[in-house]
Amino acid sequence: MPALSNPLLLKWFNAFMRLSHRALAPLVPHASDIRLPLRGECRAGQVYLVGAGSGDAELLTLKAARLLMQADAVVYDRLVGDDVLALIPNGSERYYVGKARGHHSVPQAEIGALMVKLAREGKSVVRLKGGDPAVFARMGEELDALAAAEIPAAMVPGITAASAAAACMGIPLTDRGHAQQLRFVTAQLCREDGTPDWASLARKDETLVFYMGLSKVRAICHGLREAGLPDEWPIMLVANASQPEQQSLVGSLADMPEKLAATPLPSPLLDCGGQRGAKSCHNARYPSHPCLLCTANHALTAGFAVHVLRF
């Protein structure tokens, strides 16, 4: 519009637009006025296995939020954030079954028995787990316990740590050109012979995400280098992904163990490697290699202060 290239006219036009927005504001619905499509019940005598997401309450699904507000009882773990727990109404029963510092978790059988007891009392029960309840969260055992007692169960997925960390670090988990595969691995190395299949893990066309890996960073870096990934293959560790206290460390397979020793990170932690991870610090587009992501062992916490990267 040539007339608007005149600076004075442009100024008046912008002022007019601002005024008209203000005048129309009462007619435009506010976020709080918008009715969300929250349907569905929370049935008595049923258990809902619900993902709490990675900590940021805004990453909770609408279904999860609704069930939390409706359930008679909520059984929850350590990795569930306070903002998410704040959605539980005062009158609802709460049962914490996570690991206390220096103590063991509540045995799985006891958690199963508690859910069965609450459901048999005719309560609607939410079993709230960090991230996605179907990813490294012993959901199979809990479903078995409920099935054995003939308690109906339903699942509600959540944002898993890998998705949250990748988003917070500004990297994609897959890429058409560089990472056509994505693998979630438990770093607890619980295969029968206790050794991961490094040869199958050391691929250059795949993003690897290690969960519970904080205590295994040295072993992972060593195993992947021995199996053929180059020393300079970038790796990134992300702790408390999506939370205000998020921290990260960027390095290579060769130097990450020393970097982590010099700058310990808290748990839960996400460890992200590959050129993509390192470049993402500079907000670069996906570079020429996929990255490696590891989440780390939440049992380990450590003092830290130095290396904080926010994206």
Ligand X SMILES: C[S@@+](CC[C@H](N)C(=O)[O-])C[C@H]1O[C@@H](n2cnc3c(N)ncnc32)[C@H](O)[C@@H]1O
| Residues of the shown chain interacting with ligand X in the complex, contacts defined by CB under 6 A | 54-55, 79, 129-132, 135-137, 160-161, 164-165, 211-212, 238-243, 267-270, 295-298
Least distance CB 77 / ligand X (angstroms): 8
CB neighbour burial string for 264-292, b if at least 16 within 10 angstroms, e if fewer? bbbbbbbbbbbbbbbbbbeeeebbebbbb
Phi, psi of 154 (to 5 degrees): -140, 150
Beta carbon nearer to ligand X, 268 or 274: 268
Least distance CB 156 / ligand X (angstroms): 13
What's the DSSP call for residue 214? G
Beta carbon nearer to ligand X, 129 or 276: 129
* Residue 70 near residue 39, CB atoms below 8 Å: no
Least distance CB 263 / ligand X (angstroms): 16
Question: What distances in angstroms separate CA 141 from CA 107, 206, 211, 304, one per listed residue?
Answer: 12, 29, 19, 35
Residue number, nearest CB to ligand X: 131
CA distance 256 to 253: 6
Least distance CB 210 / ligand X (angstroms): 8
Beta carbon nearer to ligand X, 123 or 129: 129
Least distance CB 25 / ligand X (angstroms): 37
Amino acid at 90: N
Beta carbon nearer to ligand X, 50 or 164: 164
Q: Which residues, 6 or more positions from 95, have their beta carbon under 8 angstroms from its beta carbon? A: 73, 74, 75, 76, 114, 118
Residue tagged active-site, from 99, 117, 204, 259: 99
77 is catalytic: yes
CA distance 225 to 198: 9
Beta carbon nearer to ligand X, 160 or 207: 160
Residue tagged active-site, from 77, 132, 175, 271: 77
The residues annotated as belonging to the active site are: 77, 99
